[in-house]
A and B are shown apart, each in its own frame.
Chain A
Amino acid sequence: MWFKTIFRRKRRTADAPARSSQGQGQTNHGPLFDEAFLRRMQRMSLQAQRTLRGNPASGEHPSRHRLPATVFSDHRPYSSGDDLRYVDWNAYARQSHVLVKLGDAEQDVHIHLLLDASRSMMLGQPSRLRLAQQIVGALGYLALTHSDRLHIVPFGPTPQRPFGPVQGKANMLRMFKFIEQITPQDETHLADVVNQYTRSRPFGGILVICSDLLSPDNLEEALHSVAPPRWQTVVLHLLDQRDLQPDLDGPLELQDSETGERIELTLNDEVLGHYKRRVAAWREEVARICGRRGATYAPVMSHWPIEKMVIPYLRTRRLLH
């Protein structure tokens, strides 16, 4: 197969959690997927809204425009210059009006995959970055397979060198290599990155943000610039089980993985209870902001296997179909 070279370790499936002994601060160097997984992914596609602007020359996503087509969906009066092949002669016979058969137009859309590559994404076993790479790889694969224009942008404090825009399966190998070679950045400024990125891309598209959202920036400010209908935004909130249920106790010195800042805490059940309540409130706040800004909020646990849990979950969130 043409993409065989990127599957060096065939025995490991995409669902198997990458067991790296490198610990935090290191990317997992195993293959992102196996060949069977990609074949199964070919049956799916990204679910783009009609409101998105696209190029009808190619693509498979429905467009809000209707063009003369053999597949009937509506009529309009004939105007000079219309192709006579699409004239509905039966309707002319019944109604004495020359009508042209209209059909649903298809278009390609821009797929923007923003991947948080900050150090906080490196923690966990498996790391959140690993799962984000798999998700971005899978979504990118679907985009290229269905002739969408793909943009992959890893970001930290600023957007890094992007991959794309590219279209067509021929770019698949380069895409996987690009995803595998993403290097961790210091910290995240999500709002700055999103604003800076969308300012130069007025045509919109599907924007998928893969991040742990552990950024001091305001999420609402970030989503302000990617409002529908031009943008179909999906926020994939990558969570680690230890973020929700930390197995910590006693006197500790906590260190921020991005800034290196340290605080001393003495944890007990009472303090951990406060923490869990704060995390729950934070998640609710993120979901509420996403809902208010027309974005789809999809929390994803980092230990979920991508094929058995993440992909079905994204289908339920209407990102895939």
Chain B
Amino acid sequence: MSLLAPLGLLALLSLPVILLLHMLRERRRRVVVPSLLLWQGLPQPQEAQRRRRLPLTLLLLLHLLAALLMALALAQPHWRFALFGQAGHLAIVLDTSTSMAAPASNFGGSRLDAAREEARRLISSPTAPTRITLIEAGPQARLLDTADPESMPRLMMALDELQAGGTGTDLAGALTLAEAALQGFPEARVVVLTDAALAETQAASLADHATSVPVDWVTVGGPRENRALVTLTARPRSNNGPVQVYARVVNYGNEPERTILRLFGDDQLLDAQVITLRPRGETELTWTVPRGLAILRAELDGNDDLPIDDVATLSLNQTRPVAVTIVSAQPETLQRALRAVPRLTVSTVSPTSYGRTLATVEPDLTIFDGFLPATWPAGGVLVINPPAGTPLLEVSTQQRQPVPGQLALRVTAAQPTLFEGVSLDSVEFGPVAVIQPHAWATALLLRGDQPLMLRGRTGTSEIAVWAFDLERGNLTSRVAFPLLLTRTVRDLTPPALPGAILAGESLVIAPDPRTTRIELGRPDGSAEVFMVGPGATQALDLALPGVYTLQEYANQQLLYTGQLAVNAGAPAESDLTPRVLPASVAPGLDPMLIEDETGQPLWPWLLGLVLVVLLFEWIYVHNRRRTPGESTA
């Protein structure tokens, strides 16, 4: 039962007032006698005159009952559950963030185990609604299952499969999902099981989150002390030089901590430091490690309430190796410009020999300068000064020689980042091939209506087209050329993986366009395979902290193997102090609307009872006045 207007209970203050009035004015039974002549001056018992006690009369009880029922009616109580067999719907929101892996106070297991047990109790309760929805509130809210009485075992299985992991608790999204699931049910209720280890701002925003259904906030666990490695990052000091590593350790407890921090490089101990942490303080550390290490791992010594945030890993080989083949009669200019791009392997092929020799390794990027093959090669393709008469591009035999300064260059909105910080004012592009763009191509740079640069995707090929001849313009002698070329290469090749992300963060990777299959190896040894189409992106679920292995395959050919570090340490999860949650049962909508939607208001029944009590009181008083034995003597 819930109260829509708890302030109505203030009317209970009328109870002591009624008692006081009855004590002050003891209601004597009035009796009409023929005359008072014989009654006057009779001696009165002294005890009766002195003692004024509470008269426990039926009238007093009726008055108290009427006032009590009226106060309850003013508070507008509602049944949350069905009174007459109506279908109820309960949504259980379960927090599965990393902090739920911490032990729960007064419970043998983790906070997630405690929440799971509470959810089981709700599901198996005899008064449980006939329909129950289970929602996981991890980094992203997720509706797990909705079960009827027949399918409750399935719900229990889904409950057992939940694991704590991921940074952040999307409680607002979970409540939105719950509201959507409960819509249309007269008896609806949401129970949120969480440890309330949230950011202060998130807890505050929950208080402002209006819901149309009653919400019960159940806090599991309690305040625990914890320390965490919340940051581990690195950057190379120079192109081929050593790497600088930075780490931050935070103590979220109220007691000082002294511990040892060890740094491993490819599982080899690099350094160990004793650090002292003040209560709710933090310490920053830096190292310089040699280049060539693939994985860095930092570990805090000793156990605390949440061990998984005492380890942080970092992948140092984020950049993908790219094999570039230049098909040009004069590749020197391009070779010189590409030399500055890290982890790039360049090979050259003359146009006449392209396709005649079988390449041992298929290049990730092919640059055609003044040449086009019969078909687009897979992977990235940069076409410079495309020749006329090829089936891949409709290029006119007439090249247009623009008058300098006559038409201004125009960057389209398709990919403006390509030209950020690049000045093209003094660039002379020379004669430009007149290209009729295909549907897959989008102009990036125009002079008048003449496209100078195009970008598009067809099949398994990511294609960029420069419609001018590098040898006949002055672009190669400008600073803009290596910038444009580097950015174009990065645009045509898959992006690098991040060195580390937080557990539960959403990661969408753009694999090599030739990729047909992705295999993701998890830290616990399990693997997951994703089949992808050409040019498609893939979202990865990385809730478990540790080092993941990512492999991209083009059919059976391995294209790329990379490593990705996922860390659990984050201020939002490592601080196990529970925040103040909103008060339970606080629907934010108009109470009248809720009355209609959630049903079963009790106040009309209570008012009816009040009327019955008042009617009975009236009859009682009336009869007492009319009863001869009471009214006359």
**B579 CB → nearest A CB, Å:** 61
A-contact bits for B17-38, CB 8 A (1 contact / 0 none):
0000000001011111111111
Q: Which listed residue, A23, A254, A278, touches B33 by the CB 8 Å rule?
A: A254
Tell me which residues from 87 to 113 in chain A have a Cβ below 8 Å from any Cβ of chain B: none
A252 to B42, Cβ gap below 8 A? Answer: no
B34 to A240, Cβ gap below 8 A? Answer: yes
Which residue of the partner chain A has the closest CB to B40? Answer: A263
B43 to A255, Cβ gap below 8 A? Answer: no
Q: Which listed residue, A216, A246, A271, A278, touches B633 by the CB 8 Å rule?
A: A246
**Is B126 interfacial (CB-CB < 8 Å)?**
no
B44 to A214, Cβ gap below 8 A? Answer: no
* B residues near A265, Cβ cutoff 8 Å: 39, 42, 44
**A295 CB → nearest B CB, Å:** 20
**CA–CA, A255 and B42, complex, Å:** 15
* B residues near A201, Cβ cutoff 8 Å: none
Tell me which residues from 257 to 283 in chain A have a Cβ below 8 Å from any Cβ of chain B: 257-259, 261-266, 268, 270-271, 274-275, 278-279, 282
**Is A82 interfacial (CB-CB < 8 Å)?**
no
Known: A250-B29, A264-B28, A265-B39. A242 touches B44 (CB 8 A): no
**CA–CA, A26 and B629, complex, Å:** 17
**CA–CA, A124 and B38, complex, Å:** 17
B32 to A255, Cβ gap below 8 A? Answer: yes
Q: Which listed residue, B28, B29, B33, touches A256 by the CB 8 Å rule?
A: B33
Known: A216-B37, A279-B38, A282-B38. A24 touches B32 (CB 8 A): yes
Known: A125-B628, A253-B31. A261 touches B36 (CB 8 A): yes
Give the residue among A123, A250, A254, A279 with the most B Cβ atoms within 10 A: A254
Q: Which listed residue, A251, A256, A259, touches B48 by the CB 8 Å rule?
A: A251
Which residue of the partner chain A has the closest CB to B37? Answer: A214
**A250 CB → nearest B CB, Å:** 7
Tell me which residues from 125 to 181 in chain B have a Cβ below 8 Å from any Cβ of chain A: none
**Is B391 interfacial (CB-CB < 8 Å)?**
no
* A residues near B29, Cβ cutoff 8 Å: 250-253
B633 to A256, Cβ gap below 8 A? Answer: no
**Is A248 interfacial (CB-CB < 8 Å)?**
yes
**CA–CA, A255 and B632, complex, Å:** 9
**CA–CA, A240 and B33, complex, Å:** 11
Question: What count of chain A residues pass the 8 Å CB interface test?
Answer: 40
* B residues near A250, Cβ cutoff 8 Å: 29
B39 to A263, Cβ gap below 8 A? Answer: yes
**Is A148 interfacial (CB-CB < 8 Å)?**
no
B31 to A274, Cβ gap below 8 A? Answer: no
Known: A123-B32, A251-B28, A251-B48. A275 touches B628 (CB 8 A): no
A120 to B34, Cβ gap below 8 A? Answer: yes
Q: Which listed residue, A125, A216, A270, A275, touches B39 by the CB 8 Å rule?
A: A275
**Is A284 interfacial (CB-CB < 8 Å)?**
no
**CA–CA, A247 and B632, complex, Å:** 10
Q: Which listed residue, A121, A216, A256, A270, touches B45 by the CB 8 Å rule?
A: A270
**Is A243 interfacial (CB-CB < 8 Å)?**
yes
Give the residue among A256, A275, A279, A282 with the most B Cβ atoms within 10 A: A256
**B460 CB → nearest A CB, Å:** 104
A-contact bits for B344-356, CB 8 A (1 contact / 0 none):
0000000000000
* A residues near B32, Cβ cutoff 8 Å: 24, 123, 254-255, 257
**A127 CB → nearest B CB, Å:** 10
**Is B398 interfacial (CB-CB < 8 Å)?**
no
**B514 CB → nearest A CB, Å:** 104
**CA–CA, A246 and B36, complex, Å:** 13
B34 to A266, Cβ gap below 8 A? Answer: no
A-contact bits for B35-69, CB 8 A (1 contact / 0 none):
11111101111001100000000000000000000
**Is B121 interfacial (CB-CB < 8 Å)?**
no
B-contact bits for A124-165, CB 8 A (1 contact / 0 none):
110000000000000000000000000000000000000000
**CA–CA, A287 and B270, complex, Å:** 130
A268 to B42, Cβ gap below 8 A? Answer: no
**Is A212 interfacial (CB-CB < 8 Å)?**
yes
A123 to B48, Cβ gap below 8 A? Answer: no
**Is B626 interfacial (CB-CB < 8 Å)?**
yes
* A residues near B35, Cβ cutoff 8 Å: 120, 212, 214, 256-258
A23 to B38, Cβ gap below 8 A? Answer: no
B39 to A255, Cβ gap below 8 A? Answer: no
A24 to B632, Cβ gap below 8 A? Answer: yes
* B residues near A274, Cβ cutoff 8 Å: 42-43
A-contact bits for B615-633, CB 8 A (1 contact / 0 none):
0000000000010110111
Known: A247-B633, A275-B39. A266 touches B31 (CB 8 A): no
Which residue of the partner chain B has the closest CB to A120? Answer: B34
Known: A24-B632, A125-B628, A242-B633. A275 touches B30 (CB 8 A): no
* A residues near B632, Cβ cutoff 8 Å: 23-24, 123-124, 242
Q: Which listed residue, A123, A247, A262, touches B34 by the CB 8 Å rule?
A: A123
Known: A214-B34, A256-B33, A257-B32. A247 touches B629 (CB 8 A): yes
B626 to A23, Cβ gap below 8 A? Answer: yes
* B residues near A125, Cβ cutoff 8 Å: 628
**A232 CB → nearest B CB, Å:** 28
**B35 CB → nearest A CB, Å:** 4
**CA–CA, A255 and B26, complex, Å:** 17
* B residues near A23, Cβ cutoff 8 Å: 626, 628, 631-632
A266 to B45, Cβ gap below 8 A? Answer: yes
* B residues near A262, Cβ cutoff 8 Å: 30
**CA–CA, A278 and B40, complex, Å:** 10
Which residue of the partner chain B has the closest CB to A258? Answer: B35
**CA–CA, A283 and B34, complex, Å:** 16
**CA–CA, A243 and B35, complex, Å:** 10
Known: A24-B632, A242-B633, A274-B42. A251 touches B26 (CB 8 A): yes
A255 to B30, Cβ gap below 8 A? Answer: yes
**CA–CA, A282 and B34, complex, Å:** 15
B-contact bits for A1-42, CB 8 A (1 contact / 0 none):
000000000000000000000011000000000000000000
**CA–CA, A220 and B29, complex, Å:** 36
**B52 CB → nearest A CB, Å:** 11
**CA–CA, A136 and B26, complex, Å:** 44
**CA–CA, A146 and B227, complex, Å:** 126
B-contact bits for A230-248, CB 8 A (1 contact / 0 none):
0000000000101100111
**B235 CB → nearest A CB, Å:** 95
Q: Which listed residue, B31, B33, B44, touches A271 by the CB 8 Å rule?
A: B44
B37 to A254, Cβ gap below 8 A? Answer: no
Q: Which listed residue, B31, B40, B49, touches A248 by the CB 8 Å rule?
A: B31
* B residues near A251, Cβ cutoff 8 Å: 26, 28-29, 48
* A residues near B36, Cβ cutoff 8 Å: 254, 256, 259, 261, 263
Known: A266-B48, A266-B49. A252 touches B28 (CB 8 A): yes
* A residues near B28, Cβ cutoff 8 Å: 251-253, 264
**CA–CA, A256 and B37, complex, Å:** 9
**CA–CA, A243 and B43, complex, Å:** 18
**A55 CB → nearest B CB, Å:** 39
**CA–CA, A311 and B48, complex, Å:** 46
A252 to B38, Cβ gap below 8 A? Answer: no
**B25 CB → nearest A CB, Å:** 11
Which residue of the partner chain B has the closest CB to A214? Answer: B35
B42 to A271, Cβ gap below 8 A? Answer: yes
* A residues near B626, Cβ cutoff 8 Å: 23
B37 to A248, Cβ gap below 8 A? Answer: no
Closest 7 CB pairs of A and B: A120-B34, A214-B35, A266-B48, A253-B28, A256-B36, A253-B30, A251-B28
- Which residues does A use to contact B, with CB under 8 Å? 23-24, 120-121, 123-125, 212, 214, 216, 240, 242-243, 246-248, 250-259, 261-266, 268, 270-271, 274-275, 278-279, 282
Beyond A250-B29, A253-B28, list 16 extra A-B contacts (CB 8 Å): A23-B626, A24-B632, A123-B33, A123-B34, A212-B34, A214-B35, A243-B34, A247-B633, A248-B633, A253-B31, A254-B633, A256-B35, A258-B35, A259-B36, A263-B36, A275-B38
| 5 A-B residue pairs with CB within 8 Å | A123-B34, A242-B633, A243-B38, A256-B33, A258-B34
